[in-house]
Chain A
Amino acid sequence: MRIHCPCCGPRGVAEFSYGGDGTVRRPDLSVTDTDAHVAYVFERENPRGRHVELWHHIGGCRHWLLVTRDTLTHEITRVEMAGRFAGEAARMPGAGA
């Protein structure tokens, strides 16, 4: 498996550390309803198919990336920066834009 880092280009998966489901959002700390916090910490959709997930390019530029990957075929269709540089996507071979 290779991940096309928007900063470093295509790199082997061994350079990256997995950060799990990239769609869960930590509730604001002022939210006192524990269900929202429990859902953030413990509950996952765990789909078989398209999964938006976090990867940390720990052996490269050290950016956090949002990767769209199929959990059955491992096909990666989109990689973009997470956090401050959100929206900057890698040019993927065959993925159009």
Chain B
Amino acid sequence: MQKYSAFSLLRNALSGHRDWQPAWRKPDPKPAYDAIIVGGGGHGLSTAYYLAKEHGLTNIAVLEKGWLGSGNIGRNTTIVRSNYMLPGNNRFYEWSMKLWEGLSLDLNYNVMFSQRGILNLAHTPSQLDDYARRGNSMRLEGIDAELLGREEVARRVPGLDMSPDARFPVLGGLLQPRAGTARHDAVAWGYARAADARGVDIIENCEVTGFLREGGRIVGVETTRGEIRAPKVGVAVAGSTSQVLRLAGIERLPIESHVLQAFVSEPVKPILDCVVTFGAGHLYISQSDKGGLVFGGDIDKYNSYAQRGNLPVVEHVMSEVSVMLPFVSRLRLLRNWGGIMDMSMDGSPIIATGPLPGLYLNAGWCYGGFKATPASGWCFAWTMAKDEPHPLNAPFTLDRFQRGYVLDERGAGPYPKMH
């Protein structure tokens, strides 16, 4: 691997940038590997990287049906945070945060992780109480959380509607200073490059179309580029989870696929230096380094495999953003797009062995899998290498629904559209 540094940048500048090597190889699939990961999104790529780095498994392949970054890893609003309330969740996401903090160095790739903080606005006294409770739950786990009053919120976010007759008056907010954003494509590319450097084959345009079985065991996959055998097959295909597992004969899962839309405005001068979320609805917004305001709201709230959404949600999101930050109503929208979310029945993920021998499952990320990318790969690699979960992902089983150990952060019940 060609190491990136200020020096290599200078050297390549002097030679007219003609000598950069491709960031990863484009190998043909081998007939067999020690392990296969289906899905070249953030989670599949980070799993491969940590399998190689932490567990010495380098004879492995990542199979991606399209190109790297074509899925949700390249479609999200890039928010990274660990401000969860339930211990099963906040420990896991805090471990992810710690991995984020060292990620650019670890991968030798600038993922542009920017710890600009996330501020959740509170609009009612009971919401502020609720935030105090969540903040305390975070601090018990050693996670940073600060409760802010109205004046402090107004000082930090000058564009907010803080007028006395605001439709949703802001009473305060919960701040996680270490939260922030990262460049989503860079995360996929950085993991791909670092995994490739350790010998992992990253195979694009290779769709898994079936599973090879011997007895009850999964022993490999059928793909559009031929059969590939491996004693361990990990599936990390986000919104396509039900589709792919159906190929292995699993007909029903605690997952529904829904479309989530996101939006970016025309670029403007710096106006928003942290991530802000609206508390009287569902809206999250940040400003990218290029100046665009990046924001999103609710999913469309019906099963969908179409990577585009409907207009009522566009209208809803726009009305939320302009009630919260009135200046946004005068900006033009540059683009909007959608991605297919693997919405689980309790809003929490699954990182587990099974559901068949030889198979491993990573799914159920809902809106929140980008921030999980490092820890998800780290825990999934552990689970695949050792055939048992790490304590951090032990709560994320597939049978928790059966056993009554759901992790429902919002207490919303078994309705995927509510998480």
Q: Would you give the 0/1 interface string for A22-35, flagging 1 where the beta carbon is closer than 8 Å to chain B?
A: 00000000000011
Chain A: which residue is nearest B415 at the CB level? Answer: A20
B337 to chain A, nearest CB (A): 16
Most buried by B among A20, A44, A45: A44
Q: How far is the CA of A14 from the CA of B309 in the complex (A)?
A: 13
Q: Which residues of B contact A51 (CB under 8 A)?
A: 303
Q: Which residues of B contact A21 (CB under 8 A)?
A: 256, 303
Q: How far is the CA of A74 from the CA of B300 in the complex (A)?
A: 12
Known: A14-B312, A38-B401, A38-B402. A73 touches B306 (CB 8 A): yes
A53 near B302: Cβ-Cβ < 8 Å = yes
Q: Which residues of B contact A39 (CB under 8 A)?
A: 252
**Does any Cβ of A come within 8 Å of B310's Cβ?**
yes
Count CB-based A-B contacts (< 8 Å).
Answer: 66
Q: How far is the CA of A20 from the CA of B303 in the complex (A)?
A: 8
Q: Which residues of A contact B301 (CB under 8 A)?
A: 18
B310 near A44: Cβ-Cβ < 8 Å = no
Name the one of B254, B302, B303, B306 contacting A42, with C-beta atoms under 8 angstroms: B254
Known: A13-B312, A20-B415, A38-B402. A43 touches B253 (CB 8 A): yes
A45 near B306: Cβ-Cβ < 8 Å = no
B312 near A71: Cβ-Cβ < 8 Å = no
**Does any Cβ of A come within 8 Å of B8's Cβ?**
no
B312 near A12: Cβ-Cβ < 8 Å = yes
Name the one of A34, A53, A73 contacting B303, with C-beta atoms under 8 angstroms: A53
Interface residue total, chain B, C-beta cutoff 8 A: 24
B240 to chain A, nearest CB (A): 8
A18 near B402: Cβ-Cβ < 8 Å = no
Interface residue total, chain A, C-beta cutoff 8 A: 25
Within 8 A of A (CB), among B288-303: 301-303
Most buried by A among B242, B304, B415: B304
Q: Which residues of B contact A38 (CB under 8 A)?
A: 401-402
**Does any Cβ of A come within 8 Å of B255's Cβ?**
yes
B363 to chain A, nearest CB (A): 11
**Does any Cβ of B come within 8 Å of A48's Cβ?**
yes
**Does any Cβ of A come within 8 Å of B414's Cβ?**
yes
Q: How far is the CA of A1 from the CA of B417 in the complex (A)?
A: 18
Q: Which residues of A contact B251 (CB under 8 A)?
A: 45
B304 near A71: Cβ-Cβ < 8 Å = yes
Q: How far is the CA of A74 from the CA of B302 in the complex (A)?
A: 10
Q: How far is the CA of A53 from the CA of B402 in the complex (A)?
A: 24
B302 near A47: Cβ-Cβ < 8 Å = no
Given A46-B257, A53-B302, 18 more pairs with CB closer than 8 A = A1-B310, A18-B417, A20-B256, A20-B303, A20-B415, A20-B417, A21-B256, A42-B401, A44-B253, A44-B256, A46-B253, A46-B255, A48-B242, A48-B243, A51-B303, A71-B304, A72-B306, A73-B306
Could you list some 26 contacts between A and B, CB below 8 A? Answer: A1-B310, A12-B312, A13-B310, A20-B416, A21-B256, A21-B303, A35-B402, A39-B252, A41-B414, A42-B254, A42-B402, A43-B252, A43-B253, A44-B252, A44-B253, A44-B255, A46-B255, A46-B256, A47-B242, A48-B243, A71-B303, A71-B304, A71-B306, A72-B306, A74-B304, A74-B306
- B residues near A (Cβ < 8 Å) are 242-243, 251-257, 301-306, 310, 312, 345, 401-402, 414-417
Nearest 4 pairs of A and B residues by beta carbon: A46-B242, A43-B252, A14-B312, A42-B401
